Structure 1
């Protein structure tokens, strides 16, 4: 495809995004006050529409252990799930959002992004800061969401990488799965963070790798096309990806981990990291099964 042809393709896709996002997000906003799981289901449609416009094809290996959830799911005893994934691109958000019933936990900066910020906000993303003063409130919101029907997606690396490796997972991200044991009488019983009996969340490690670009296997030379990290500007990176005819992402879902089986948050974080890192390494070798 010629340079002018790629520019036309990118412009058409951008126009599609500009039309799709207000329509789909506007409808989703109408669903927010409606009881039930319709808003959870529709969020997947919103992300899926974006992936379709961008010609991002998604291959899934394994199965999510979480269901659509909702209040009735929790009443049936369905444990909430926290999906923990590697993170190398802004594309990770629509890719995972298309295939997993969940809400994201994301840095507060994302709320200010054009398009992605709007979709994330209406999609009930939990935005977190690095401010210690708000940590307790953010933790309590995540616990409440998990207990009342949502599953969560976290990126425990704490930042995005260049896609060539998975950075170590920060154990603080696992605090909501393995709640701290507070000294007796240190806080009033009603203020202690806790889950309803039997509803402590499972951890499911997830590996995401972009392994096909315009039909060809991705290698060390082409992998940086997807990576968005550090101080890279978002706009130019999005525009370059819009020019690509097709992209394939592979999601590998690993067996879930029960937090109660691990002696500490650090041990849980290390086990999750190992599963994600090993899976990503295998996918980078362009394994088809």
Structure 2
């Protein structure tokens, strides 16, 4: 019998494959070209969105008569029950809450936060025992206006003739021990920055014992860090339609928002409302910037000797 010399590498190869069609692995990522991973994320399921929106509507209709009854009764339940309502609302929408810091308990408190979406309302409502200050247009929206009034929202308009009455209404609410949530930017934005705080909104700060800045950033989507392309999913601004915006958000999963409650301080710590607005803006913007960059953030305190920034 004649022996045949074989290369050493041939001894490691099987003589016969068990599969007629061997497995072949492509040298590229699935889904098309290599850089397809940088395209828009998939929308998600319509069934998930329908389920979420239906349960949100049912939960809202269930809680409305409960809150109406609590408003007629004495006690602090009228301010605590909306927190439960908003917390469940966030859970039904698939938004996970992460809170850094503690809400100030020395009421009344004026909470000032950045504003990028209608979603800020249930998020902050789940964290803060306070009523919101909203523009007068919200009081004309179907169903939402009823929910807002049951939450004791203070409506303000842009009419100069009613500014004094609205300021007195806010001072009266705080004089009764109620805290308020204010968005000093005056409008929502795309979520990539914090707009300048308007000092006129701080005219009622003297009616509060404490002012607490709050940074709000939607920093996770699908369990991964949210980037600039993901901001429009959360942010609601310009001429966006609310219905389609809610629908797109309800289809996604793995969303998270981080709320940073900075150190509270008495409004008299700073010399005037312009310095107060500038310092609150600096704290809120710095906290939001660190969250957008996925950097660790801790509650920040104001600078006692703060002054207005010098314009160049």
What TM-score do you get using the length of structure 1 for normalisation? 0.85
Per-residue deviation, 1:11: 0.7
Q: Taking structure 1 as reference, are residues 212 and 155 closer, same or farther at Cα in structure 2, changes over 3 Å only? A: same
Q: What residue is the counterpart of 1:283 in the other structure?
A: 291
Residue 29 of structure 2: aligned partner: none
Question: 5 Å matches for 1:162-241?
Answer: 162-178=190-206, 200-241=208-249
- 1:146 corresponds in structure 2 to 174
- Measured in 2, the distance between the counterparts of 1:13 and 1:112 equals 25
Residue in structure 2 matched with residue 265 of structure 1 by the alignment: 273
Q: Deviations over 1:168-221 (max 9, x none)?
A: 00001100014xxxxxxxxxxxxxxxx5xxxx4311000000000121100112
Structure 2: which 5+ runs fail to align? 1-40, 298-312
Q: Does 1:243 align with 2:251?
A: yes
Separation of aligned partners in 1, 2:91 and 2:148: 18
Would you say how many aligned residue pairs link Structure 1 and Structure 2? 257
> Would you identify which runs of 4 or more consecutive aligned residues in structure 1 move more than 6 Å?
none
- Give the match for residue 80 of structure 2: 41
Cα distance in 2 between the residues matched to 1:81 and 1:208: 18
Cα distance in 1 between the residues matched to 2:202 and 2:78:
26
| Aligned counterpart, 1:19 | 58
SS where residue 204 of structure 2 aligns? coil
Offset at 1:115? 4.3
The CA distance in 2 between the partners of 1:84 and 1:115, in whole Å, is 26
Shift, 1:2, TM fit: 7.7
| Counterpart check, 1:126 vs 2:154 | yes
Matched-pair contact (CA < 8 Å) for 2:53–2:250: yes
* Preserved contact between residue 205 and residue 275 of structure 1 (Cα < 8 Å): yes
Compute the displacement of 1:107 (Å). Answer: 0.4
Offset at residue 224 of structure 1 (A): 1.8
Uncovered stretches (5+) of structure 1, i.e. residues with no partner? 67-77, 179-194
- The Cα RMSD (Å) is 1.6
Contact 1:64–1:253 (CA<8 Å) still a contact in 2? yes
Partner of 2:91: 52
Matched residues in 1 for 2:149 and 2:238: separation? 23
Task: Assess, with a 3 A threshold, how the Cα gap between structure 1 residues 233 and 2 changes in structure 2: closer, same or farther.
Answer: closer
User: Measured at CA, do residues 174 and 6 of structure 1 come closer, stay the same or move farther in structure 2, by a change above 3 Å?
Assistant: same
Change (3 A) 1:173 1:22: same
Q: Secondary structure at the match of 2:126?
A: helix
Structure 1: how far apart are the matches of 2:266 and 2:174? Answer: 15
For normalisation by structure 2, the TM-score amounts to: 0.79
Pairing 1:8–2:47 present: yes
Helix, strand or coil: the match of 1:221?
helix
How many Å apart are 1:109 and its aligned residue? Answer: 1.1
Write out per-residue CA displacement over residues 40-90 of structure 1, whole angstroms, 9 at most, x where no aligned residue: 010111111211110111100111113xxxxxxxxxxx4411000000011
Query: What is the rounded CA distance, in whole Å, between the counterparts of 1:141 and 1:34 in structure 2?
Result: 21
Moved more, 128-137 or 248-257: 128-137
